[in-house]
Amino acid sequence: MIQIQNITKKIGNKMVLKDIELNIEKGSIFGLIGENGAGKTTLIKCLTGIYKVDVGSVKIDDEEVFENNKIKQKIGYVADQNNYFTYFKIEEIIEFYKRAYDKFSVERFERLNDIFKISKEKKIKDLSKGMKMQLSLMLNFSINPEVLILDEPTSGLDAVVKKKVIKILIDEVADNGTTVFISSHHLEEIERICDNIAIIENGEIKYVNSIENMKDSIKKLQVLFEEKAQDEIKTWDEVLCVESIGRITYIIVKDYSEELQLRLKDKGAKFIEEINLSLEDIFIYSVEEELENEKCI
C-alpha cells in the first residue's frame, strides 16, 4: 500500500533522511519511533507529499505521492502542530474541508463531535492545544481516508480523550481497513495498537519488525553463573548488553534461541530465566547501545 523506496532528504546542509526503505501493508497500523530530532516528522512530510524527496520515491497504491492530488485525496494527515486559519470558526473550516475533500462526511464529523463536544461556533484561536488536536483528528477521520498519517496524535490530550482517540483509531482500521502510519513518543500506546514498528535513528531506519516478532526475539535473561560471567559473552553477536548485579547477570539478547541457551550453559550458566521486555525497554536499550557503542560487563 505505502512504499517508501530508498529515500534521502537533505534540509539545508543536513542530511536528515538517509536511504530509507519501508513497506506498509494495507489495513495495518505502522508505528515509527525515535529520539527527538531523529527524522520522524521529516519522514512524515515526505510521506504526505509536503516535502519532495531528493532521492528515491514515496508511493501509495503504486503512484508517486508528491504533487498528486488524486492520491492526496486519500490521505488524512494529523500534524504535530495544527496551524489552521486562526480567525476561522470551526464551521468555516468544515466548509473548507467539504470543498477540498470529495469524500468528506459532515455526518461523520457530527458523530465524532458527539464524543468530543467542541462548539462549531468557536474560532480556532479560542481552542486549547488539545482541542486543536481533537479538531484535526475529527476532520481527518471525516474525509474517510484510505491512509491516515498521524504525527504525535495524542500529545497534549488528557488521559480520557486519549483513550477515546485510540478506540476511534482501532475501530477505523477494523471497520474501514484504513492503513495507519503513526509516530509517537508514547511507546506503551504504540506497543498496544501497532502491528509493525520501525526505529529511526539519525535519519536511518535501524530496526523494522512486527511487534510480535520483536518481543519474541529480544529478551532480557537473568542468569546465575557458577562463577563470574565471562567477558567473552559480550562479544557475541546476539548480545546487546551485559550487566552484573551481585551474583546475577542480566543479558539483553536479540535472536534468542535454544542454541544460545546451550552456549550460555557451556560458559557455566546454572540458571537462566527469560524476561519479556516492553517496547519502551527495547527502545532504551537500542538507543543506549548506539550511544555507548560498547557492551558493559
Interatomic CA distance for residues 104 and 110, integer angstroms: 12
The H or E element that residue 244 is part of is strand 239-245
CB of 197 to ligand ATP, least distance (A): 14
Does 49 sit near ligand ATP (CB under 6 A)? no
Binding segment for ligand ATP (CB under 6 A), chosen from 12-20, 113-121, 264-272, 288-296, is: 12-20
- Residue 156 in contact with ligand ATP, rule: CB under 6 A: no
Binding of ligand ATP by 12 (CB under 6 A): yes
Distances (CA, A) of 136 to 84, 130, 182, 251: 9, 10, 15, 44
* Among the listed residues 6, 11, 23, 171, the single contact to ligand ATP using CB under 6 A: 11
Cα dist. 124→90, 107, 115, 135 in Å? 7, 21, 19, 9
User: Residue 118 is placed in which grid cell?
Assistant: 467542541
Which residue's CB is nearer to ligand ATP, number 54 or number 92?
54
Using CB under 6 A as the binding rule, the residues of this chain from 15 to 44 that contact ligand ATP are 16, 34, 36-42
Beta-bridged to residue 253, according to DSSP, are 219, 239
Between 10 and 98, whose beta carbon lies closer to ligand ATP?
Answer: 10
Supply the Cα-derived Rg of the chain in whole angstroms: 23
Which CB sits closer to ligand ATP, 37 or 177?
A: 37
275 in Cβ contact with 212 (< 8 Å): no
Q: Is 174 in the site for ligand ATP (CB under 6 A)?
A: no
Residues shown for the chain: 297
The C-alpha atoms of residue 147 and residue 70 are separated, in whole angstroms, by 13
- Choose one: 11-19, 113-121, 155-163, 224-232; the region binding ligand ATP (CB under 6 A): 11-19
Q: Which residues bind ligand ATP (CB under 6 A)?
A: 11-12, 14, 16, 34, 36-42
